[in-house]
């Protein structure tokens, strides 16, 4: 069951679930607000709680609005690109060979055919990003499967507009945002653990929080750091 609470210009989606306590969340990147309440909570009670937290909600939304956002990448000479949390300068080569990307120290070399447009360069970079993630993700999944006592039947990498990851607990699949290749590897690990924990508990319930607390006690710090890093250039919407 879900209902909307309207407080001036702020819309809050209220959802009742099998939880013990109220969970009020302001979600990056756009500041949407959700309120998860125990089953049977009356709308007026939830509304009163939200009103008591109104100043906090506005502060969180203001922080998100002020958050750094990458300027659109054009994939040109000496442009800055981030990889695993570190800044690299791009070198562009035009040659009549199959496009490729190479990393050495602080430089990313992008080789494309003469006349390749921005969209083609972006596609080549995205495929390279996926290859880097494919080299790391299975190792992290393998590390955490015995710790959590779960089995991931498959994982997928894709551009995701509003989430760092998602989980289909029935199929045993997890999906990861390819933007994670730009973030420090420990934050990629946090997202993987978060999504794998959903194989044990599909919702963000008290049990889910307890699972993270037990297995990844620094998850709150990791989540905060991830949400403070620059967002992708596009305006994210659901």
The dihedral of CA 56, 13, 166, 70: what is its sign? negative
Tokens representing 12? 């809050």
Give the per-residue pLDDT at 167: 94
What pTM did the predictor assign? Answer: 0.72
Question: Looking at the structure, do residues 220 and 143 belong to the same domain, yes or no?
Answer: yes
pLDDT of residue 229: 66
Say whether both 126 and 219 belong to one domain: yes
Range of the domain at 44: 2-66
Rounded Cα gap, residues 90 and 95, in angstroms: 16
Per-residue pLDDT tens over the stretch 58-102: 988 887 776 656 667 788 888 889 899 888 999 999 999 999 999
Residues sharing a CB contact under 8 Å with residue 119, sequence separation 6 or more, in sequence order: none
pLDDT at 235: 37
CB 20 within 8 A of CB 40: no
CA distance 61 to 54: 11
Task: Confirm whether 238 is domain-assigned.
Answer: no
Residue ranges of the chain with per-residue pLDDT less than 50: 233-238
Q: Rounded to whole angstroms, how far apart are CA atoms 83 and 183?
A: 7
CA distances from 165 to 12, 17, 28, 130, 192 (A): 22, 21, 13, 14, 8
pLDDT, tens digit, 9 for 90 and up, residues 112-126: 999 999 999 999 999
Residue where a domain stops, chosen among 40, 66, 92: 66
Phi and psi angles of residue 78, each rounded to the nearest 5 degrees, phi first = 65, 20
The verdict on residue 100 lying in a domain is: no
| Cβ burial, residue 15 (10 Å; 0-12/13-18/19+) | middle
**CATH of residue 212:** 3.30.2010.10
Task: Scan for tokens 């969180």, then name that residue.
Answer: 60
Residue 86 is assigned to a structural domain of this protein: no
Six-digit token pair at 48?
């009163």
Q: What is the pLDDT of residue 75?
A: 87
pLDDT at 225: 84
Q: What is the pLDDT of residue 72?
A: 74
202 within domain boundaries: yes
Question: Within this chain, do residues 207 and 128 fall inside the same structural domain, yes or no?
Answer: yes
Q: Does 173 fall in a domain?
A: yes
Q: Are residues 124 and 204 in the same domain?
A: yes
Same domain? 142 vs 52: no
**Could you say which of 66, 91, 106 is where a domain stops?**
66
User: Position of tokens 């989430």?
Assistant: 163
**Which of 48, 66, 84 lies at the terminal end of a domain, its last residue?**
66
**How many domains, in total, are found in the chain?**
2
DSSP codes of every residue in 96-120:
SS--EEEEETTEEEEEE-TT--HHH
Supply the pLDDT for residue 105.
80
Q: Is residue 233 part of a domain?
A: no
Whether residue 191 is contained in a domain is answered as yes
Whether 72 is in a domain gets the answer no
């Amino acid at each position: 069951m879900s209902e909307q609470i309207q407080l001036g210009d702020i819309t809050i989606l209220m959802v009742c679930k099998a939880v013990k306590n109220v969970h009020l969340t302001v979600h990056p990147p756009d500041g949407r607000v959700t309120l998860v309440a125990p089953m049977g909570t009356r709308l007026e009670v939830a509304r009163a709680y939200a009103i008591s937290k109104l100043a906090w909600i506005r502060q969180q939304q203001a922080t998100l609005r002020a958050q750094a956002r990458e300027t659109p990448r054009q994939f040109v000479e000496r442009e800055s690109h981030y990889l695993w949390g570190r800044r690299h300068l791009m070198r562009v080569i035009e040659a009549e060979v199959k496009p490729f990307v190479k990393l050495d120290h602080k430089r990313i070399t992008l080789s494309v055919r003469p006349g390749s447009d921005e969209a083609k360069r972006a596609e080549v970079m995205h495929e390279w990003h996926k290859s880097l993630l494919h080299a790391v993700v299975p190792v992290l999944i393998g590390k955490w499967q015995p710790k959590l006592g779960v089995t991931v039947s498959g994982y997928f990498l894709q551009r995701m507009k509003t989430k760092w990851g998602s989980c289909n607990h029935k199929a045993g699949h997890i999906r990861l945002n390819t933007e994670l290749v730009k973030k420090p590897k420990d934050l990629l690990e946090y997202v993987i653990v978060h999504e794998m924990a959903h194989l044990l508990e599909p919702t963000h319930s008290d049990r889910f929080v307890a699972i993270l607390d037990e297995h990844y006690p620094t998850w709150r710090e990791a989540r905060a750091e991830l949400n403070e890093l620059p967002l992708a250039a596009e305006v994210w919407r659901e």
